[in-house]
Chain A
Amino acid sequence: MPSGGSSSAAAVWAILRKECRSEWRTRYGLNAALLFAVTTLTSVSFAAGRLSDRTDLLGALLWVVLLFAALSSLSHAFVREVEGHTLTLLRLVASPTTIALGKLLFNLVFLAVIEAVTVPLYLALMGAPPPRWGPFLALLGLGSLALAAAATLIGAVISQTRGRGALFAGVSLPLMLPVLAATVSGTRAQWSGGPIAAEARLLAAYTTALLAVSLLLYDHLWED
């Protein structure tokens, strides 16, 4: 691992690999998140039944399920470090920006795994008509990137508070609401055959703004 405060691509990659490896060792975070996502999915599906002809509801409920999965699990990357008392060591070998970027990529991978399980299951359980895959996957990707960007910085902040995980959902919700609004309207349009360019642009712009501000703020994350 490179020493000092370098935030080169190699260092970020090293952090990502370290994250994946330590997650794979216990899979505690992943298991909990998957279980939670499937639980949410089950309750939504059980409560609403099959909604084959209501694509407006299908888009909304899909993103509610994904948002809940993200809210329940994405603080894990930082909380784990604090609980395992490994953060100090991590900070010795990498700059705050490097750590945060590595965790951001990890959160993205994490979300992708959750979605790979949840989304097909959702489409099957709810009896959804087949989506237009191009726009659908584009929205999933952009939405996940935006969720991960918001969750990384908030997760780092929340891990330093008293309640740790407990506050995460409430505090990150205001940042995730624009994502929810845009992805829901895009997914709906995708099913009804409309264009999704406006929503995709919005998501891209929002993610860019979040990332730009995050990059300015990462340096302030730890001081004591």
Chain B
Amino acid sequence: MGRLLVFLWIAAWMVAAFVWAPLVPVLGETTRVLYFHIPAAWVTVVALGWSMLHSILYLRTRNLEHDHHAAAAAEIGILFCVVATVSGSLWAKAMWGSYWNWDPRETSIFFLLLVYAAYLALRSAIEQEERRARLSAIYSALAFVSVPFLMFVVPRIYFSLHPDPIINPRGKLDMDPRIRIVFFAMLVGFTGLYAWLQSLRVRVARLEHRLDQA
């Protein structure tokens, strides 16, 4: 039921993005990346936060259920992270003329990708369940320390590559109300999609755990 709702919701707003919402003058046809790219990036951050939260909860309670949540969030997070990175890169090609330029935004999303990849690589290298849960939770908690720092440091260094006028024409300040409605609707849709995927992945992890026990 829930997934049908998510599917219809996203499909409906996708159509609206093409036929109802206007285009922003500078961005032209690339305006529509807004409805996919930013929600995907948003889900990436939500998933990372969720994973960190459950990692810390695991260290406090030693309940494997938290580990299932942390792992599931990381797996789905990396999926959305790839979606956000690729769509952003395509947009950058259209607007800035190159796929990759270490713009601060590109750097921070790439960094999240690295954290997720390392987390999953670490998990795959530990066989015993409790140990895997404990060690990956430690890593996850520590990795979270570096996230705000990187977001803060990198813009200082790579600023020269991207003077403001190039980054700015996102036209966010004077966003058309119709664009804003579609954008926030897509944000809600993507969050719903994430919630559904997350519950699905946690159920699978739970079953796998029970299979291991049997």
Which of A26-34, A104-112, A162-170 sits within the interface?
A162-170
Q: Size class of A's contact patch? A: 35 or more
Q: Mark B145-165, 1 if CB is under 8 A from A, else 0.
A: 110011011101100000000
> Is A167 within 8 A of B121, CB to CB?
yes
| A163 with B125, Cβ < 8 A, contacts A173-B118, A185-B156, A223-B134 known | yes
**Contact partners of A217 in chain B: CB under 8 A:** 59, 138, 141-142
Q: Is A214 positioned at the interface, with any CB of B under 8 Å from its CB?
A: yes
Q: Is A209 positioned at the interface, with any CB of B under 8 Å from its CB?
A: yes
A206 to B151, CA, bound (A): 12
Which of A160, A163, A174, A220 is within 8 Å of B146, CB to CB?
A174
Within 8 A of B (CB), among A150-187: 150, 153-154, 157-158, 160-163, 167, 170-171, 173-175, 177-178, 181-182, 184-185
Q: Is B111 positioned at the interface, with any CB of A under 8 Å from its CB?
A: yes
Which of A150, A174, A182, A224 is within 8 Å of B118, CB to CB?
A174
Interface centre among A174, A184, A202, A223 (most CB of B within 10 A): A174
> Is A210 within 8 A of B157, CB to CB?
no
Within 8 A of B (CB), among A38-92: none
Within 8 A of A (CB), among B93-123: 111, 114-115, 117-118, 121-122
**Contact partners of B3 in chain A: CB under 8 A:** none
> Is B126 within 8 A of A160, CB to CB?
yes
Q: Please report the total number of B residues contacting A with Cβ < 8 Å.
A: 31
A149 CB to closest chain B CB (Å) equals 10
A160 to B138, CA, bound (A): 12
A181 to B126, CA, bound (A): 31
| A174 with B143, Cβ < 8 A, contacts A161-B126, A161-B135, A198-B156 known | yes
> Is B141 within 8 A of A177, CB to CB?
no
| A181 with B121, Cβ < 8 A, contacts A160-B126, A175-B143, A210-B145 known | no
From A223, which residue of chain B is reached at the shortest CB distance? B134
A213 to B139, CA, bound (A): 11
A157 to B142, CA, bound (A): 11
Within 8 A of B (CB), among A183-224: 184-185, 198, 202, 205-206, 209-210, 213-214, 216-217, 220-221, 223-224
Q: Mark A86-104, 1 if CB is under 8 A from B, else 0.
A: 0000000000000000000
By Cβ-Cβ distance, the 7 closest A-B pairs, closest first, are A161-B125, A178-B149, A171-B118, A181-B153, A174-B115, A185-B157, A174-B114
B residues neighboring A (CB under 8 Å): 59, 111, 114-115, 117-118, 121-122, 125-128, 130-131, 134-135, 137-139, 141-143, 145-146, 149-150, 152-154, 156-157
Give me 30 A-to-B residue pairs in the complex whose CB atoms sit less than 8 angstroms apart, sorted by A's number: A150-B142, A153-B138, A153-B142, A154-B142, A157-B139, A160-B131, A160-B135, A161-B135, A167-B121, A173-B118, A174-B143, A175-B142, A177-B111, A177-B114, A177-B146, A178-B150, A185-B153, A185-B156, A185-B157, A198-B156, A205-B149, A210-B142, A210-B145, A216-B141, A217-B142, A220-B134, A220-B137, A221-B138, A223-B130, A224-B130
A residues neighboring B (CB under 8 Å): 150, 153-154, 157-158, 160-163, 167, 170-171, 173-175, 177-178, 181-182, 184-185, 198, 202, 205-206, 209-210, 213-214, 216-217, 220-221, 223-224
